[in-house]
Amino acid sequence: MLGVGEVHISGRRIGIAIVHEEDLITGLSVSLGGEPNLKPLLSFLRGRGITPNLERKESRFLKLIGDLLLGRIENRELFPLLDTSFLTPFERRLYSLVIEIPRGSVVSYGELAKLLKTSPRAVGSGLKRNPYPLIVPCHRVVAKKGIGGFSGGVKLKRLLLELEGVKKWPDSKPT
């Protein structure tokens, strides 16, 4: 099923599309204003053998994502609601670390790479495939020198970090 909606925060619209079954989130897509582009998420899921039902249906998960964005609930509270059956062991380890990054904090790709005994590039690639942005807060992972990328775009990453109280990241100027 597909739940589509938006959250209004600080005068900005954040579009959210959630692919889910009754009890588990299979993936989500996010955008700054307007309905998110589902093509990359659906391509990823199909590549992992998942053919989601895209019938639009009201979703209880939309309110939970709104509460998450507003800081009413913590990321790890939503982790049990994720269908992780199609993830690789590396992705599971990576996402279990990222979900523990507290709101208002950032870590670098390199810091995560050291913990996982891999390269920053492998971490970046794993986060690029993250089918649960916002829940697995890959926006809290930044480059050694700058903000780094984000599936919803750098403007949205910047906004999410600012909403969480992050004003600076490594080797960047305060916003």
Catalytic sites, residue numbers = 138
DSSP string of 94-141, one letter each residue = HHHHHTTSPTT--EEHHHHHHHHTS-HHHHHHHHHT-S-TTTS-GGGE
CA proximity to 52, closest of 62, 63, 41, 60: 41
H or E, element range at 159: helix 154-163
Q: Supply 126's token pair.
A: 């794993």
CA distance 113 to 103: 20
CA distance 13 to 118: 36
H or E, element range at 75: helix 75-78
